[in-house]
Chain A
């Protein structure tokens, strides 16, 4: 069959998007990270000086620290809660459809709306804080959102509430795909259900778990809206995250060079996450 040029023409938007939107932009950012760009791009090459500045910057180091704490807690909490919900729903319960709807609806909400609701719930003196005190528990205090050491955990709570329904939905789909024979065999051998889930079913679900991990991990690196809505990085700089550091330095503090260096650093964990995944896929494709 004669090959025509039409398919190439049809793929032109995709070609331009990849070349300009993704690769070109990323390379440009990489280039700018090695210049002294302030408000406008500059072509003065200064090597890795911006990276040195970046890692001497207290606010950046705090952002990285927060991201590590947040990321670990967020991923673990989403996985555990999502898996538990899926397993409990999988017990042939009545009202399954309602339960699934209830656990997943926060996922339809934006991070901005999520952050704002939880900001109100956790408002000291007005929110859950005073409601519990009104119940008679006079010494109760819940002021994490204005506490320098605890603010980042409030972001964890809000985003876990938003995202764990997604994990539940994906895990439940995985559980429903498990061969019923396994359950018959396990029952014959009188293995308790919780052990079957942990030691047989969970390992079988590893592709689903890998998927979920990848989705959650990229969400961690992208964390921005929820922090802006909930704490604006505060109190002070206590809940700053790298994505916000970059945005602030790009558009508020006119330090494009430093911000670009931050963006490139943020690219590293993403590539580290994608590489093994791409490798596994290409091996499976070859097999």
Chain B
């Protein structure tokens, strides 16, 4: 996610609106209530408009798009644009639709979610309980790195990857997602483990349990909530990434976002708006589904990731 909330947070602050509204407000002054609802529904319309236009456009034929307005409902709804977007549209040299991009994005997202979560959990655990020397300084630099534009690091990383012989491959893009996902993942787990009582850790130590044993037997089993939050953040971020996939994934593994942009911005000839919009919805479908399905968890992730003073 380009606008990725990161920074230093307390562990899992309650999501917005999980508490009941604090103060009973007077409902007497009617005109004000009408004003409130008028404002909110206008705003809601503005926010929903692009989604609506995307959907209706993707269901029209090109003739109908030329003939009717952008807001008109489809007269003869067709799924043909969806079929084309999925299996025949040109995403550059190849014309096999977005399904290859979808497959690539899945192949990138799965390891780029699991690996950063695992390493973030180990980092957070080591930082909160073992407190090795210089670790906090290291963590501080890592967090500062989260705010630096990738353009500052991208070319040296390309050279290093080329030197290691992995540039333009699946391992390269996963590794880069690990590097740029690490601040957020480490932060989430560090803050989560900071709220775990130290006594629990001390007791395990007294019993003779070592670093990995405590991590695997005690810490991981109680980390499920934060793992869910971390997974939501990482899946959304990796799936929506454009710039890293473009540079590091290589021609064979280009993610869906890059192929979508190719479909729309590099094709010549008549623009098939209906296919374009179907392709856009298809690409946005995974994070949107995750958002609508996870509801409060998504908001919780945002709140947990946002910098708390």
Q: Determine whether the beta carbon of A126 is less than 8 Å from that of B65.
A: yes
Q: Beta-carbon contacts of A177-217 to B below 8 Å, as 1s and 0s?
A: 01010011000000000000000000000111011101110
Which of B75-83, B90-98, B156-164, B218-226 is near enough to bind chain A? B156-164
Contact residue among A17, A97, A110, A221 (Cβ-Cβ distance under 8 Å from B283): A110
Q: Determine whether the beta carbon of B150 is less than 8 Å from that of A222.
A: yes
Q: Determine whether the beta carbon of A93 is less than 8 Å from that of B36.
A: yes
Q: Which residues of B contact A109 (CB under 8 A)?
A: 240, 284, 287-288
Q: A211-B309, A229-B261, A246-B151 are in contact. List 15 more A-B contacts (CB 8 A).
A: A22-B148, A26-B148, A29-B153, A29-B155, A104-B291, A108-B288, A109-B240, A166-B3, A170-B303, A172-B17, A212-B306, A222-B3, A228-B242, A243-B149, A263-B155
Cross-chain pairs A/B with CB under 8 angstroms, 22 sampled: A10-B123, A10-B125, A25-B156, A91-B33, A102-B48, A110-B241, A110-B242, A112-B261, A116-B261, A169-B299, A173-B16, A173-B17, A176-B17, A207-B308, A210-B309, A211-B306, A216-B3, A225-B243, A226-B2, A229-B265, A278-B140, A280-B309
Q: How many residues of B contact A (CB 8 A)?
A: 107
Q: Determine whether the beta carbon of A105 is less than 8 Å from that of B302.
A: no
Interface residues in chain B, defined as those with a beta carbon under 8 Å from any beta carbon in chain A: 1-3, 5, 7-8, 13-17, 19, 21-25, 27, 33, 36-37, 39-40, 43-44, 46-51, 53-54, 57, 65, 69-71, 119, 122-123, 125-127, 130, 132, 135, 138-142, 144-145, 147-157, 159-160, 178-179, 182, 186, 205, 210-212, 236, 239-243, 247, 257, 260-261, 264-265, 273, 276-277, 280, 283-284, 287-288, 290-292, 295, 298-299, 302-303, 306-309
Q: Which residues of B contact A229 (CB under 8 A)?
A: 242, 261, 264-265
Q: Determine whether the beta carbon of A18 is less than 8 Å from that of B138.
A: yes
Q: Determine whether the beta carbon of A10 is less than 8 Å from that of B122.
A: yes
Q: Determine whether the beta carbon of B16 is less than 8 Å from that of A169.
A: yes
Contact residue among B2, B8, B54 (Cβ-Cβ distance under 8 Å from A219): B2
Nearest residue, chain B, Cβ from A184 = B23
Contact residue among B119, B155, B288 (Cβ-Cβ distance under 8 Å from A259): B155
Q: How far, in whole Å, are A193 and B212 apart by their CA atoms in the complex? A: 55
Q: Which of B14, B135, B306 has the most CB atoms of chain A within a 10 A radius of its CB?
A: B306
Q: Determine whether the beta carbon of B147 is less than 8 Å from that of A211.
A: no
Kindly provide the distance from the CB of A227 to the nearest chain B CB, expressed in whole angstroms.
11
Question: A15-B138, A103-B44, A215-B5 are known contacts. Are A173 and B261 too (CB-CB below 8 A)?
Answer: no
Which of A48-56, A82-90, A147-155 is near enough to bind chain B? A82-90
Kindly provide the distance from the CB of A196 to the nearest chain B CB, expressed in whole angstroms.
11
Q: How far, in whole Å, are A32 and B7 apart by their CA atoms in the complex? A: 29
Q: How far, in whole Å, are A4 and B288 apart by their CA atoms in the complex? A: 45
Nearest residue, chain B, Cβ from A165 = B47
Q: Which residues of B contact A105 (CB under 8 A)?
A: 47, 51, 288, 291-292
Q: Which residues of B contact A273 (CB under 8 A)?
A: 147
Question: A11-B132, A111-B2 are known contacts. Are A91 and B119 too (CB-CB below 8 A)?
Answer: no
Q: Which residues of B contact A214 (CB under 8 A)?
A: 7, 147, 307
Q: Determine whether the beta carbon of A99 is less than 8 Å from that of B156.
A: no
Give 4 nearest A-B pairs by CB, closest first: A207-B309, A110-B240, A108-B291, A7-B130
Q: Determine whether the beta carbon of B303 is less than 8 Å from that of A4.
A: no
Question: A92-B24, A103-B47 are known contacts. Are A1 and B205 too (CB-CB below 8 A)?
Answer: yes
Question: A96-B17, A126-B70 are known contacts. Are A112 and B36 too (CB-CB below 8 A)?
Answer: no
Q: Determine whether the beta carbon of B25 is less than 8 Å from that of A92.
A: yes
Q: Determine whether the beta carbon of B122 is less than 8 Å from that of A116.
A: no
Q: Which residues of B contact A18 (CB under 8 A)?
A: 138, 141-142, 145
Contact residue among B155, B178, B261, B298 (Cβ-Cβ distance under 8 Å from A17): B178
